[in-house]
Amino acid sequence: MNKPLFTGKSSLGKNPKGPSQRQLRVAEEVRHVLSDVFARTEFRNPELRDKRLTVTEVRMTPDLRNAIIYVVRLGASNVEELLPALRKAAPYLRSQLSQKLSLKFLPELRFQADTGLDYAAKIDVLLHQPEVLRDLDKED
């Protein structure tokens, strides 16, 4: 029975207190390693070669066996078209993680587009509209 691992950022983890300190620490280490790999752009896959990707966040499951990696493409908003190529590169990325991290289990990597920056840009445009600026000036 294949259930989806996660449906989005809000469904990660069942602990109402949030992720544990270990989850946060491992997620940050994974983010650093993957950021270094993406900065070097050493991919055999031509779809990923010379693409500027940034890892904005990594979330780990409580058992540290699965990681959701949120990526954004610098200078472009079409990161969704690179997700299949990232899934193909996951074994290579896991091998890079194994060289840099000493974990009992290497996490399975799942990639998702981070839409937070696009959302922030949209809100910024809305806040700078003349109607909103007029209303903000009235309050001062």
**Domain locations in the chain?**
13-114
Task: Measure the CA–CA gap between 55 and 53, rounded to whole angstroms.
Answer: 7
Q: Calculate mean pLDDT across residues 79-90.
A: 88
Tokens 């910024």 correspond to: 124
pLDDT digits (tens, 9 = 90+) for 50-77: 788 888 999 999 998 999 999 988 877 7
Please give the pLDDT value at position 1: 43
Q: Calculate mean pLDDT across residues 46-52.
A: 82
β-strand pairing of 53-60 with 108-113: unpaired
Q: Calculate mean pLDDT across residues 18-27.
A: 88
Instruction: Output the pTM of the full model.
Output: 0.74
pLDDT band at 130 (very low <50, low <70, confident <90, very high): confident
**Residue 48: closest CA among 59, 37, 56, 58:** 37
Q: Calculate mean pLDDT across residues 110-114.
A: 90
Mean pLDDT of the chain: 81
Q: Residue 80: is its pLDDT beyond 60?
A: yes
Strand order from edge to edge, sheet including 53-60: 53-60, 66-73, 108-113
pLDDT band at 33 (very low <50, low <70, confident <90, very high): very high
Please give the pLDDT value at position 11: 47
Q: What is the CATH number of domain 13-114?
A: 3.30.300.20
